[in-house]
Amino acid sequence: MTNCCYPCAVCGNQTFIAQVRAAIADELGAVAMYSQMANMVDSLALKALIMGIAGDEYGHARTWMTILALCGYNC
């Protein structure tokens, strides 16, 4: 069991922590994929839309990293 900054039921739950880490990896993988896809199109409008989606995914990854940190784990 790790020391938590805040009391929470998930601390020490290795299944939860593993799933959070997997979610982070998935979100960052999506960022990479969407960035590649944006580079495949010529339209600046499409590039901007796709990069916006990539930014959303990066935001999701950051949120999961925050959850992991609040549970006392390093990312």
User: Quick one: CA dihedral 50, 55, 58, 60, positive or negative?
Assistant: negative
Q: What is the pTM of this model?
A: 0.81
Angstrom distance (rounded) from CA 14 to CA 43: 44
| CA–CA separation, 66 and 32 (whole Å) | 20
Residue 27 forms part of a structural domain: yes
Best CA proximity match to 52, nearest among 36, 38, 66:
38
Residue 1 lies in a domain: no
What's the domain range around 22? 14-70
Mean pLDDT, residues 9-30: 87
Any domain includes 19 = yes
Q: What is the pLDDT of residues 35-71, one digit of tens each?
A: 999 999 999 999 999 999 999 999 999 999 999 998 8
Express each pLDDT in 1-17 by its tens digit. 444 544 455 566 888 88
Structural domains in the chain (count): 1
